Amino acid sequence: MNDGLIPKRYAKALYKLAVENGDSQQIYEQLKPLSHGFRGLDDIKRVLLNPYVKEEDKGRVMMQLVGAKPGSSLDKFLLLVIRNNRAEMLRKIALAYVALYREKHDIAKVEIVSATELPQQQSDAIVDIVRRLMPTTTLEVEHELDPDLIGGFTVKVGDMLLDASIKNELKKLRLKLLS
């Protein structure tokens, strides 16, 4: 089996359990930060993969990381994953769960990346355009800064990318001059 299939299966099982227990949204909120990655991931991986660290301790580390309460569906699930020696896949499982939850609840992640902080009015205008294109979809908007863009912004929604950055314009100009 490959690394993509296993996390998806675990994510589906967790989603099914969460729906049955009525805490799918809470688990979604808890796993979102894990799916984005976090500082210290390598340190946590070393703890999770260390055979000398007890399963209960690994479970406590993961519970603290995602904010799960003892005895919750997520707590039990994390311990199951650790017992099945799949701890190294927890981030991929979190990514799969977040994607599955978004699919089931018609949620789109909107990533707005700009070279500098966008004024609120411009940010709102970008979100309004996306909202008009996807009127029935709930939007989760994230703003990031990337000075490498030089100026302008990029907007990513699912597989769609709008690149209105100066970096992209310079790249196009360069290619045009070379041809």
**DSSP class per residue in 118-175:** PPHHHHHHHHHHHHHHSTTSEEEEEEEE-GGG-SEEEEEETTEEEEEEHHHHHHHHHH
Say whether both 122 and 88 belong to one domain. Answer: no
153-163 mean pLDDT: 94
CATH of the domain at 14: 1.10.520.20
Task: Say yes or no to pLDDT of 136 above 80.
Answer: yes
Identity of residue 109? K
Say whether both 78 and 111 belong to one domain. Answer: no
For residues 161 and 154, the answer to whether their CB atoms sit within 8 Å is yes
139-146 mean pLDDT: 95
Query: Where is the domain boundary, 103, 127, 153?
Result: 103
Say whether both 94 and 120 belong to one domain. Answer: no
For residues 74 and 80, the answer to whether their CB atoms sit within 8 Å is no
Total domains in the fold of the chain:
2
Give residue-wise pLDDT tens across range 42-93.
777 788 778 888 888 888 888 787 777 777 888 889 888 888 988 888 888 9
Cα gap 120→5, rounded to integer Å: 41
Query: Where is the domain boundary, 43, 70, 103?
Result: 103
pLDDT at 132: 96
Cα gap 8→73, rounded to integer Å: 17
Query: Where is the domain boundary, 84, 103, 122?
Result: 103
Say whether both 115 and 66 belong to one domain. Answer: no
CA atoms within 13 A on the CB side of 153: 20
Say whether both 30 and 115 belong to one domain. Answer: no
Contacts of residue 169, Cβ cutoff 8 Å, sequence gap at least 6: 152
Lowest mean pLDDT among 9-13, 14-18, 33-37: 33-37
Say whether both 130 and 160 belong to one domain. Answer: yes
For residues 89 and 6, the answer to whether their CB atoms sit within 8 Å is yes
Say whether both 139 and 157 belong to one domain. Answer: yes
Say whether both 84 and 140 belong to one domain. Answer: no
pLDDT tier at 101, thresholds 50, 70, 90 = very high
Range of the domain at 113: 106-178
pLDDT at 75: 83
Task: Say yes or no to pLDDT of 111 above 90.
Answer: yes
Cα gap 132→166, rounded to integer Å: 26
Report percent pLDDT > 90 for the chain. Answer: 60
Say whether both 11 and 76 belong to one domain. Answer: yes
